[in-house]
Amino acid sequence: MSGVPQLTRRTMLSGTAALFAATSVRAQATAPRVATLDWALLETLLAIGANVVAATELRQFAQIAVKPEVPETTVDLGLRGTPNFEALRFSRPNLIFNSNFYTWADDLMGRIAPVESHAIYKLGESPYALAERVTLAIGERLRLPAGRRLIEDLSVRLDRYRLRFAESDRRPVLPINLGDARHYRVFGSDSMFGEVLNRVGLANAWTGATSYSATAPVGIETLASMPDAWIVLIPPHPADAYRALTGSAFWKALPAVREDRVVTIGSINPYGALPAASRFADFLAEGLIRVRNG
């Protein structure tokens, strides 16, 4: 179709790479030393080139969120629920970014450095819109123009995907994560993944109750009630659960499976910010194009 931008794997991946490019290398020497307990804020800070000196559960973050990469110099504070405040103190942050999920730690962290709180997930509010607001606020606070660029670049790319998907079969999409061979978590219209679907013009096949997070556990048998949907599997999944499910007669009998409408994408932080939205959009476009082109 003339006039519609043609998306290739290279352009999609280069778009993501541009968001996370190391534009702040020169600024690192003088940039404020920042820390956070929250993963959504962590990926935002990393994506805009902030000098992150300490954060939590970095090994798990690398496995689940994957991108942006965490510098080797960033101190791992341990579990989000029980961070090592002594390690935080020794990392000498000038500023600590916290979220509404960890407000209990504000007073303790405030003895180490000033604390600023930002919320991306709030009941009844759009996580995507809040993520844009937080990204802009943090970028301005740290004087990092990459914050605004992240917002603008992702918006442009989602518009391109919307044009591309307008040529598709327009089937609804069901984004899920396996819990075990008999249950899954589903991401509704008010989750970050659900909002991305809406912004690229795709319907979410899940119309049940949600509250900005995944709904779980949902019985695997409910997949049969959405025969027209594309199934998008979002890792990480328990390996034994994935093998058991995909080897089962029930799975093989699903219309989506028989008609090759199942896409497995890369791992993404399900409660992330704009970097997570970006990864989901890129993976979704790449996966649907790959499957459709066979």
Can you tell me the mean pLDDT for 177-182? 89
3-state secondary structure of 146: helix
* pLDDT higher than threshold 70 for residue 11: no
pLDDT at 217: 85
Flag the least confident range among 5-14, 118-127, 184-193. 5-14
Instruction: Output the six-digit token pair for 232.
Output: 């998008």
Q: Domain 9-153 class?
A: alpha beta
pLDDT at 116: 97
Strand ranges of the sheet holding 51-55, from the earlier edge strand across to the other edge: 75-76, 51-55, 33-36, 95-99, 115-118
Same CATH topology for 9-153 and 169-293?
Answer: yes
Q: What is the DSSP letter of 7?
A: P
* pLDDT higher than threshold 60 for residue 5: no
6 Cβ neighbours under 8 A, 6+ residues apart: none
Instruction: Output the six-digit token pair for 122.
Output: 């709030």
Q: What is the CB neighbour count within 10 angstroms for residue 114?
A: 10
* pLDDT higher than threshold 70 for residue 20: no
pLDDT at 75: 98
Instruction: Output the six-digit token pair for 267.
Output: 């791992």
**Could you check whether the bond before residue 236 is cis, i.e. omega within 30 degrees of 0?**
yes
pLDDT at 3: 45
Can you tell me the mean pLDDT for 25-40? 79
Can you tell me the mean pLDDT for 57-86? 96
Q: Domain 169-293 class?
A: alpha beta
* pLDDT higher than threshold 90 for residue 18: no
For residue range 94-130, list pLDDT tens digits in order.
999 999 999 999 999 999 999 999 999 998 899 999 9
Percent of the chain with pLDDT over 70: 89
User: Which sequence spans correspond to the domains of the chain?
Assistant: 9-153, 169-293
Name the pairing type of β-strands 95-99 and 115-118: parallel
CA 228 remoteness from chain centre = 25
Greater model confidence, 63 or 21: 63
Longest CA–CA span in the chain (Å) reads 60
Strand ranges of the sheet holding 262-264, from the earlier edge strand across to the other edge: 214-219, 183-187, 173-180, 230-233, 262-264
- The band of 282, judged by pLDDT with boundaries at 50, 70 and 90, is very high
For residue range 201-247, list pLDDT tens digits in order.
999 999 887 777 777 789 999 999 999 999 999 998 888 888 898 89
Percent of the chain with pLDDT over 90: 73
Q: What is the CB neighbour count within 10 angstroms for residue 67?
A: 21
pLDDT at 181: 85
- The band of 4, judged by pLDDT with boundaries at 50, 70 and 90, is very low
